[in-house]
Amino acid sequence: MPLTLSPSSNFSLLSPTPDRTHRFFKFSIPHASTQLAPKPPPVLKTAPVIVIGAGLAGLAAATRLNSENIPFLLLEASDGVGGRVRTDVVDGFLLDRGFQIFITAYPEAQKLLNYNELNLQKFYSGARIYYDGQFHMVADPLRHFSDSLLSLTNPIGSVIDKLLIALTRARVLSKSYEEILTATEVSTIELLKNIGFSDSMIGRFFRPFFGGIFFDRELETTSRLFDFVFKCLALGDNTLPAKGIGEIPNQLAAKLPPDSVLLNAKVVSVDLEGSNSPSVRLESGEILKSELGVIMAVEEPALDKILAGRKQPAKRKPARSTVCLYFSADQDQIPVGDPVLFLNGSGEGTINNMFFATNVAPSYSPPNKALVSVSLIGLFEDVCDDDLTAEVIGELSGWFGASMVGSWRHLRTYRIGFAQPNQSPPTDLMKSPRIAPGLYLCGDYITSATFDGALVSGRRAVEALLKDRALALV
C-alpha cells in the first residue's frame, strides 16, 4: 500500500478506515507477501517532516507543525495514539495504563488543550494517609481550611512541618517556571531536609505522595522537578478526564489532518546519510525520505534501537517503573465516597497509594459499580501477577476490612517498566533537541518528566527545526 503525496501536500493512503471515536484515520502496514516471488526493492517516498512516535511529545510536535501549515507524517508503531498515556476499556471500566493524574496548572497544556471538552473531574486537594493502623487527613488550607485545622495535631508531621509547607508554597510561587527548571539542583530528599522538614513528615507524607508522582520513594529526583510540580499543585487541581486519561492525546490527534497519522507503522531505523534530510525505514520495508527533517518522539529504549550503529547510546540511569492493579467492586462495597487519594505512610507493605477512581469520575465504571486503582513503585519482577494480587488484597484488607475487600474482583494488572525517565541530579531540563543535522528529539526525558514536559519538548523540537531551516536559507 504505497504512500502518496496529494496536490494539497497532505499525505493520504489508498484505503483509510475512519475511526469515528477519535475522529482521525487509522492506518496499517500490510504484511509482506508469503509468495516466493522476488522481493521488490523498497519504495522511496518523500515527506516534508516525519515525526516518529504519537505520544504526547509527538502529538505536540505535529500540532505545532500543523499550526505552521507544514505537512508532516506522524508514524506510530502501536494501534493508537498516546504512548504511555492511554486508557483501555475492560468489562465496561475505564482503565488508565498506570496511575496518572492531570494537573490543570500545567502551563503548556493550558495552551494546547480544551479543558471543557476533556470534562475534567477533580480530586480532593489533600490525602488520607495510613499510619499506625488508621487514616489521617492532610488538606490544602487554602481550599479546605476547616479540614486543615483538624489535621494540625495529627501524627503526619508537626505544626512546624505544616508551616514549612506554606513557606515552600510561597517560595515556588515567587519563581517563574524557567527559573525553577534552571535553578541549582539537589535531590528532592536533600531539599526537604535542607528546608527543615522532620523525618516523620518526609516518611509519612512526602515519600508516598511525591514518591507516587515520580515513582521514586527514595526521593532522589531533582529538586527542579519537585519545585515545578509543587508550583503546579499550588496553582491547579488534580484531575482525571471523564473518559479516561487517554482523552488527552485523543483530543490532540483529533485536531490534526485526518490523513497525517499512520498507525501500526513501526520504524526500525533512521539513516542520516550525512545530509540534512534523514530517511526512515519501516518494518514493512518501505523507506520514507524527509525533506525538512525527522523528529524522534520515542522513549529512550526505542531511540537506542532505531539509531543503533548511527549514534552512540548514552549512559542512562535506570528508568522509573510501576505496577498498577485495578479491581471492581459494588458501589456499596467501598469505604468512602470522597474523591481522595490514599497514601501509605506506614513505611511498610507493598502499596504506595490507591484511590477509588469512580469517586473522582463516576464515568470510569458501569452503573452501580466502583473502580479501585492501586499503585506500587517498582516492577516486582520476582512476583507473579497472582501472588502480587493476593499480597495487595491482604494489605488492603488490613486498611478497610477483609469482608469488604474480599468482595472486590481483580480486573487487570499493568506492569510498566518505563513509567518515567530517571531525573535524579545532574539534569539538564533545557537541553537542545537537535542531535544531528535534520534530526531532533522530543520527549519528557528532554525536559521535565511530566505531561507538560512532553508537550513542551514537542514544541521545542519543531522550533529548532524551523530555526535551522531558516538559517539554511540565509
The closest alpha carbon to 408, from 459, 469, 360, 358, belongs to: 358
Kindly report the average pLDDT of the chain as a whole number. Answer: 90
Beta strand extents in 67-160 (DSSP E only): 72-75, 87-90, 93-96, 102-103, 120-122, 126-131, 134-139
- The domain ranges of the chain are 45-83+245-317+428-473, 87-244+320-420
pLDDT of residue 313: 62
CB distance 348 to 394 below 8 Å: no
Low-confidence ranges of the chain (pLDDT < 70): 1-44, 274-275, 310-314, 472-474
Separation of alpha carbons 327 and 392, rounded Å? 11
Residue with cell 514549612: 164
C-alpha cell at 269: 531505523
Separation of alpha carbons 279 and 473, rounded Å? 21
The closest alpha carbon to 355, from 347, 364, 366, 346, belongs to: 364
The closest alpha carbon to 76, from 224, 256, 327, belongs to: 256
Separation of alpha carbons 279 and 276, rounded Å? 10
pLDDT of residue 158: 94
Sheet holding 120-122, edge to edge: 102-103, 238-241, 120-122
Distances from the Cα of 380 to the Cα of 97, 170, 411, angstroms: 17, 38, 18
Span 87-244+320-420 CATH architecture: Alpha-Beta Complex (3.90)
Q: What are the residues whose beta carbons fall under 8 Å from the beta carbon of 42, sequence distance 6 or more?
A: 281, 285, 286, 287
Predicted confidence (pLDDT) per residue in 393-448, tens digit: 999 999 999 999 999 999 999 999 999 999 999 999 999 999 999 999 999 999 99
Q: Which fold has domain 45-83+245-317+428-473?
A: FAD/NAD(P)-binding domain (3.50.50)
Q: By three-state DSSP, how is residue 440 classified?
A: strand
Same fold, 45-83+245-317+428-473 and 87-244+320-420: no
Separation of alpha carbons 229 and 435, rounded Å? 28
